[in-house]
Amino acid sequence: MQKFPTFELEKWILRGFENGDIDLVKEASQDPLIPYITSIPSDFSKTSALEYIERQKQRHITGKGYSFAIADIKTNSAIGSDFIILMRVGFLLVIGLLKNFEDRKL
pLDDT digits over 3-60, tens only?
889 999 999 999 999 999 999 999 999 999 999 988 999 999 999 999 999 999 999 8
pTM of the predicted protein model? 0.78
DSSP 8-state code for residue 5:
P
Confidence of residue 84 (pLDDT cuts 50, 70, 90): confident
Distance CA 101, CA 34 (A): 16
The pLDDT of residue 104 is 45
Say yes or no to pLDDT of 98 above 60. Answer: no
Contacts with 11 (C-beta within 8 Å, 6 or more apart), sequence order = 72, 73, 106
Residue 27's Cβ-count burial label (10 Å; 0-12, 13-18, 19+) is middle
Determine the length of the chain.
Answer: 106
DSSP reduced 3-state for 11: coil
Q: What pLDDT digit, counting tens, does each position of 44-76 carry?
A: 999 999 999 999 999 988 888 899 999 999 999
Say yes or no to pLDDT of 78 above 60. Answer: yes
Going through the chain in order, the beta strands assigned E by DSSP cover: 7-8, 12-16, 65-72, 78-87, 90-98
Burial 31-70 (b: 16+ CB within 10 A, else e): eeebbeebebbeebeeebbeebbeebeebbeeeebbbbbb
What CATH number is given for 7-101 in this structure?
Answer: 3.40.630.30
